[in-house]
Structure 1
Amino acid sequence: MTELHKLAKRQLKRFGIDDSLKTEHRDYFAAVSEAYVGYEQDVSTLERSLFLISEELNERNALLKNQLGELSETKNQLQSSLSVLNATFDATGENIVVYDVDGNVVSINCMGQTFFLQNGVTEYQRWSALLSLFKYPNQAVQVKQKLEEDPTRHINGVIELSSNRFFEYRSLPQIAEGKLIGRVWCFRDITQQKESEDLIQHQAYHDALTGLPNRNLLLDRVEHALALAKRSEQLLAVLFIDLDNFKRVNDTEGHKAGDELLIELVQRVKSRLREQDTLARLGGDEFVLLLESVANKQDIRLLCEELLAILTEPFCLSGRQHFVSCSIGVACFPQDDNNAEHLILKADMAMYQAKAQGKNNYQFYDQSLEQQAMLQVKVERELREALQADELEPYFQPKIDLSTGEIIGAEILMRWFKPDGSSIPPDIFIPVAETTGLISQVGKKAIDSAFECISQWRSQGLNHLKLAINLSIIEFQDAELIRYLLSKCDESNECGSQLIIELTESIFMENKEVISRTMEQLRTRGIAFALDDFGKGYSSFSYLQILPIDYLKIDKAFLQGVTTNKQSAAITRTIIDIGHNLELSVIAEGVEDQATLDYVMRERCQSAQGYFLYKPMPRNDFNELIKQECLQLAAGSE
């Protein structure tokens, strides 16, 4: 009998079945044993299956837990990113609104909500609410048309809202899987930036002090006015206005007072202008006035006369009255030019002509002024070359003592002789030298010549002779030239005691304190001063008292009529009396005939000079003249 399964044996033993029975029912018990074996195999198979399933479930559970952990972390990251995105959305500094394709608000940040509310829109769920904010409906229409033409286009621009604030906008399409699902709009308030840009723009085209248009804006307006005048065939005028003696106000009262004067001047001028007229400031004390649609030149003349009148009225600065005047140049379209810059330039030329005519007047441009300007450019160029080539030569006009007839000195007069033998008169090249800054070089040549001559005199024992040189306002206010003059005095032993500096009255219209200090400084070197052309300019007895004047020169304009004109004779006699009463030596300048010489001698002038006595001559000729006179005096004393 086949060995029974252990479980079958256990059951047989449990129920007390003996071996005889086992033998008798062997096949039965064998089948039972096999059933137990099969059962055991099935259980084993089941357990193995359960084990494998359990292992797989554990693996899947571990994987699931891991995936759940990752999902949880991803969720946290997404929540964090969403939080950052929302915070950024609200903190971006821009007004952001997102619309779907139907124009409904999908999302809007806090600033976007404020953007609508501040502009009076409480219902902003539709895109039409955004368009309603545009100040100008045509802008909204243009934006709408662009999006209708191409819904996916990027657009940007600047709009002004009904609240008068300016916003820069950008709009981008929202695309998902290649399909348009909405649009994002961003708005940034640029009102302050726009105001700053407008301020910069204003400053670029306006004068900071007066707020008037500057040269840039003036040119633009003149060009625009010319275009209108050409079409309408109307008269247009440009007035160039320059103040006379404005520097004196700055020097005496300071630049703040000068600025106050300019501001008041602008108000005065504006009070005489029409709405369409333009007043511009070019800088300093230079102004340009544009007159459009002028009826005739007489209207321009009347306005010029009004401006001259109101600007000669006193200006009260720091509790004191100050007086200035102005010189006005006028250029017109179509007579003078049809170009903006050329018209201003020609008005400027006419203004300088007004200055040359004595200031405080107006002059219209004519072609001769341009010819003069071209001549000035030519003279300047040639003068620079002449100074390099040493073509300027000092000429000496002797002065005589009217009581003895003896030569007591001379006045140095600079002459310009060109290599071809021709000459340029002083009244041509001296003004050019003054306006171009070359006058200091001319002055240095005169100073050098004077000290060379005086040194020679002193070596010959001619210490009684005096030599005069002329210094203009520009030269006398040139600190470098004055230092040069002082150094020449210090280098040449006591030569300054034989030097006379002749100054015109106009110099005393400048800062008297500065002029006085300079004169006193020069007097310490022995230099004397003569007041030239007395009575012709800004005569004032006050500076005769204040300033260290030694000589008074009568202008030749008065002397020319002393024998035929009672007024000239009376003026001349008065000037001589003033000189005597102030203990000044009086010099008669421009004695051209015997009758005039007799007159000045009779009126007790101390000295005289003029063509009737001696013409200006080269230095060698003057030295020879002195030598001959010394010989005659020596012979007479024997």
Structure 2
Amino acid sequence: MPRGPEDHDGYASSLEPTAFGADRRLRVLVVEDSVLDAQLVEANLADSQLGPYIDVQHVKSLADAEKLLAGETFDCILLDLGLPDGVGPQNVNYLRERNRKIPIVVMTGDDRDESGLRAIHYGAQEYLIKGQVEGDALTRIIRHATERNRLVMELEALREREYFLATHDPLTNLPNRQLFRDRAELALAQARRHDQKVALCFIDLDGFKPVNDIYGHAVGDELLRRVANELAHEVRQTDTVARIGGDEFAILLMPAGGRSEIENLAQRFAQRISDIQRVLDHDVHIAASVGVALYPEHSHTVDELLQHADMAMYCAKGARDKSVCTYDEKIAEAPASHARLAVELGKALNSDQLLPFYQPWWDIDEDRMAGVEVLARWQTPNGELIYPDDFLPATDNSSHLLELGKRMLTQAAQQWVRWREQNIVPPRVEVNLSLRELREQSYLEALLEASERAGLPASQLQIQISGRDLLRNRDTVTGNRIGYLRAQGVRIGLGNVDINTPAALLAPWQIDSIRLSRSWLPHDAAKGLNGQGRVLERMQEVARGKQCDLIVNGVETDSHYRTLREAGCRYLQGFWRAPASDGTALARLLRQAR
């Protein structure tokens, strides 16, 4: 675990002075090359009232003192300024550098006070003139020096603690945003001088909010501490790991290697986090989106590095097949590109260039098409098909998203009626909604009205919500909207669900189907499921417990089909049986399936 303020050197705070006596002997180290002077000091200490409780050791040089201090501790050092291996106040500095906790009282033969005062400037607590201090006066000087040093050390420890609390996150003990910025500024300055590279990784946790909401803050806090610990163990001493927000972390790599090396390391960060699957006896499922920006390739200031790494992180968050994204020109141009694309998309909606395609899923127990997922395709005037991943980002902050969803449902409902008019038993229709669409009550009412007007009964409609989005955003509004739809007879599907998702995260939701993401399926399933069989069984138990269908997506080969059938999977979707197609092509497939 990263170090906390209590781990830093310093004395425990106490208002009581140290009481020397039978229970606590006073240990004094005399560093004096003159045996006669050392014997005189020892005799004076022995003659004092505290004498029976004083232990004295004598060495003749700084080197001998250093060796002794390496294995023993003392309450005070009486230091001569004229030694064979050191002369003057620098002797104080020499010993202070090796042990700052032990107070030093300087012994000098210079009665003009100059060398003694200079020694105090170097860190001595007191000085005395040889031959002028005896007995109780000597022990009083030693005790005063001991107390002053204790108070100084406590003050320094308090200042260190105040600085630590001001510059570190109190939950994880990691540097906070301000300290991270300071270190990044220093790293860039050093990189400019030495022609080095610097990398900044911006990390956002996916799935933290549901863990916090379902299990409580104690589990959420422990999860953040675990993440901090995992990341801290993955970096070098020259790197910096910081918590800069609620579930946001940043890592400064200095010096940084090549781009592929950095991306591999960023992938390890993401893997370390996703490997955390149990916290305080609770199953958790989190992932990480990591954005990477490089100096001097992408940025020349700390603000630019943070901004570009943040943009890359959102790129990773929006990707379906990767958790790490490195900033590049394409990401830089994305806002302007999205703006241009949004304009073109508006024109396409007005000219009916957005078409529904239908991706069936199958009930292999009954050998029938169980339903079709409606997927939007943009068909340009020259006949080119543009897929959702290439144009949906342009709808995020525009009215096009709502219009597109309504348009797809209306056209799919009309197609369902045409299939029925052709004496084809039409399958259930599933449309995808974003959280933004789901949360707008008036929009949901308009969707259902459009569906009913087109002739599609609510009982034949299923609405799919991204599992990644829903499990990240557990709130009352979302739950109420789902309840409203189900009350109208609409089925609710949870899509793109990771197979390792804990049952507790799925428990609160009233759903009718769970569609697993395709990422867990091996490319060739002829040899089995690569150790995922037990995980699949657990997810099947979850589906049975919720009395909902479990749909396996990404079934592309006969080996997938055979292996999943043997594993007891009933609902399969993928190119293995049929790709997504328009309504006419799907009608032919429906006739063949009768």
Query: Taking structure 2 as the reference length, what is the TM-score of the superposition?
Result: 0.52
Is 1:614 matched with 2:573? no
* Identical residues among aligned pairs (%): 26
State the distance in 2 between where 1:559 and 1:304 align.
20
Is 1:469 matched with 2:431? yes
The residue that corresponds to 1:134 in the other structure is none
* Number of residues of Structure 1 aligned to a counterpart in Structure 2: 418
The residue that corresponds to 2:458 in the other structure is 496
CA contact (8 A) 1:277 1:290 kept: yes
The residue that corresponds to 2:330 in the other structure is 371
CA contact (8 A) 2:201 2:251 kept: yes
* One of 556, 567, 572 as aligned partner of 1:592: 556
Letter in 1 for 2:410: D
Letter in 2 for 1:523: R
Give the SS at the match of 2:383: coil
Is 1:412 matched with 2:412? no
- 1:105-138 deviations in Å (ceiling 9; x for gaps): xxxxxxxxxxxxxxxxxxxxxxxxxxxxxxxxxx
CA contact (8 A) 1:494 1:525 kept: no
Give the SS at the match of 1:374: helix
Is 1:563 matched with 2:526? yes
Bigger shift: residues 220-229 or 491-500: 220-229
CA contact (8 A) 2:417 2:456 kept: no
Q: Cα distance 1:461–1:496, how it changes in 2: closer, same or farther (>3 A)?
A: farther
Q: Cα distance 1:370–1:400, how it changes in 2: closer, same or farther (>3 A)?
A: same
Q: Cα distance 1:441–1:286, how it changes in 2: closer, same or farther (>3 A)?
A: farther
* One of 364, 367, 372 as aligned partner of 1:402: 364
State the distance in 1 between where 2:223 and 2:576 align.
49
The residue that corresponds to 2:405 in the other structure is 443
Letter in 2 for 1:570: G
State the distance in 1 between where 2:269 and 2:557 align.
45
Give the CA deviation at 1:442: 3.4
State the distance in 2 between where 1:568 and 1:262 align.
28
Give the SS at the match of 1:371: helix
- 1:278-313 deviations in Å (ceiling 9; x for gaps): 9796x876676777x758789999999899979999
Note the 1:523-534 alignment, pairs <5 A. Answer: 523-534=486-497
- 1:463-496 deviations in Å (ceiling 9; x for gaps): 7631112234554445554344344456566721
State the distance in 2 between where 1:264 and 1:610 align.
37
Q: Cα distance 1:235–1:591, how it changes in 2: closer, same or farther (>3 A)?
A: closer
Q: Cα distance 1:213–1:418, how it changes in 2: closer, same or farther (>3 A)?
A: same
Give the SS at the match of 2:333: helix
The residue that corresponds to 1:348 in the other structure is 310
State the distance in 1 between where 2:539 and 2:285 align.
30
Give the CA deviation at 1:242: 3.6
State the distance in 1 between where 2:475 and 2:385 align.
39
* Higher Rg of the two aligned structures: 1
Give the CA deviation at 1:451: 2.8
The residue that corresponds to 1:141 in the other structure is none
- 1:177-226 deviations in Å (ceiling 9; x for gaps): xxxxxxxxxxxxxxxxxxxxxxxxxxxxx9xx99x9989x9999977875
Letter in 1 for 2:580: P
The residue that corresponds to 1:381 in the other structure is 340
The residue that corresponds to 1:240 in the other structure is 202
State the distance in 2 between where 1:377 and 1:477 align.
28
- 1:73-119 deviations in Å (ceiling 9; x for gaps): xxxxxxxxxxxxxxxxxxxxxxxxxxxxxxxxxxxxxxxxxxxxxxx
Q: Cα distance 1:491–1:307, how it changes in 2: closer, same or farther (>3 A)?
A: closer
Give the SS at the match of 2:526: coil
State the distance in 2 between where 1:451 and 1:501 align.
13
Gaps of 5+ in 1: 1-205, 634-638
The residue that corresponds to 1:329 in the other structure is 291
Give the CA deviation at 1:345: 3.2
Letter in 2 for 1:521: Y
Give the CA deviation at 1:388: 2.7
The residue that corresponds to 1:421 in the other structure is 383
The residue that corresponds to 1:519 in the other structure is 482
State the distance in 1 between where 2:502 and 2:294 align.
39
The residue that corresponds to 2:88 in the other structure is none
Q: Cα distance 1:478–1:261, how it changes in 2: closer, same or farther (>3 A)?
A: farther
Q: Cα distance 1:253–1:378, how it changes in 2: closer, same or farther (>3 A)?
A: same
CA contact (8 A) 2:372 2:430 kept: yes
State the distance in 1 between where 2:532 and 2:231 align.
43
Higher relative contact order (CA 8 A, sep 6+): 2
State the distance in 1 between where 2:488 and 2:345 align.
32
State the distance in 2 between where 1:412 and 1:235 align.
47
Give the CA deviation at 1:402: 3.1
The residue that corresponds to 1:338 in the other structure is 300
Give the CA deviation at 1:406: 4.2
